[in-house]
Amino acid sequence: MLLILLVALFCSFVVGVLLVRFRHLHDRFSSDHDLGGVQKFHASPVPRIGGIPVMAGLAGGVLILALLTGEYLNLVLLVAALPAFVAGLAEDLTKKVGPLPRLLATFVAAGMGFWLLDAGLSRLDVLGVDQLLRYHWGISLLFTVFAVGGIAHAINIIDGYNGLAGMVSVFIFIALAYVAFKVHDPQVMGLCFAATGAVLGFLVWNFPRGMIFAGDGGAYLIGFLIAELSVLLVTRNSQVSPWFPLLLVIYPVFETLFSIYRKKYLRGMSPGLPDGLHLHMLVYKRLVRWMVGSREARHMTRRNSMTSPYLWVLSSLSVAPAMLFWNNSPVLIGCAGLFVLTYLYLYRMIIRFRSPRWMVLYRPVLREGRGSSLSKNSNR
């Protein structure tokens, strides 16, 4: 397993080196030159094709897994992931592929996984629902497609700051690998190690300096892998609770659901339009922004990277109990509910400028004078 991880990391790292070193050859197409959007927090154009090294690392790791086990069905996962990856990468290069076509492409990828990998949800440990999923393959297909596509889109939603989505994904892959080890499923465990190495090789260039972004191609690919490996783990191992992977991804999933509710019912806008009120954006604006007040590019990049650890901690609040109670559905459901309450509490406190004191790592001392950019009242 260590060999799989190292090969995936090496392949991803090397491809990342080449993309960063020769960015002048593709910068015209790959970089995001629009720095004025409500969800743009970087100081200069950065290539958005980090999905390419992730895919390269995944391919290398999966190939080693296939050679070691003699089962080439693992390679089918790469084929199934292609629609989600290609649609996202097309948006990164052309800036003309909307969210709906990307989501539909992920649905297609989930459908391919359903047929080619037998990756279909047949139980939720909910009375009545399990019978429908088990005896009506059409319902199982629709539910699986919706779940996989939704998780992939959710990972793309939280991909806003250097290292945020990447490290959260590493936490999730490690948790999936741990449970796969507990239930003696080397295939899923090997795929998790390949995905972990691929993301880590990309993170070297993404965090903290933000030399390359995952883009939609990387985010949708990583999200699809998380969802597909979760479905495979639950489908192949009856002792694993279907609520285990749900608790693992509760942060990005609830972020997405709450975003839809906030935009449609509280702000009266289309859920597909971007806004600046995601939790990670509020952490940036109201907790991190004032720690380094200069608008120099290096300081903006530093603020960007300082945002992610807050959300890493939040994500770990769901990953840790999921690993502890991976086969206990009632406890997992309770932990999911507790996480939702914690999220809402933090969101309410931050948006009302009442952030808990323990979240404020550094509060600058503001001085009055002709050269100061902020008044004394700006800290109220």
322: DSSP letter? H
pLDDT in tens, 71-85: 777 889 999 999 999
Q: Is the pLDDT score of 289 beyond 70?
A: no
Position 373 scores a pLDDT of 37
Distance CA 33, CA 187 (A): 41
> pLDDT tens digit string along 334-345?
999 999 999 999
Phi, psi of 47 (to 5 degrees): -60, 135
Query: Of the ranges 75-89, 143-157, 365-379, which one carries the lowest mean pLDDT score?
Result: 365-379
Instruction: State residue 300's pLDDT score.
Output: 63
pLDDT of residue 33: 58
Q: Which amino acid is at 100?
A: L
Q: Which residue has the higher pLDDT, 119 or 366?
A: 119
Q: What is the DSSP code string of 212-233?
A: S--HHHHHHHHHHHHHHHHHHH
pLDDT confidence of residue 244 = 96
Q: What is the pLDDT, as a whole number, of residue 264?
A: 85
Cα 375 off chain centre by: 38
Provide the pLDDT confidence category of residue 161 given band limits of 50, 70 and 90. confident
Asked if pLDDT for residue 327 goes beyond 70, the answer is yes
pLDDT at site 36:
52
Per-residue confidence at 301, pLDDT binned at 50, 70, 90? low
Give residue 45's pLDDT: 79
Split at pLDDT 50, 70, 90, the class of 369 is very low
At 85-99, the pLDDT tens digits run 999 999 999 988 888
Residue 126: the pLDDT is: 83
Mean pLDDT of the chain: 86
Alpha helix ranges (H) inside the chain: 2-21, 23-30, 51-69, 74-94, 99-116, 129-135, 137-157, 164-182, 186-206, 215-236, 243-248, 250-261, 279-283, 297-324, 329-351
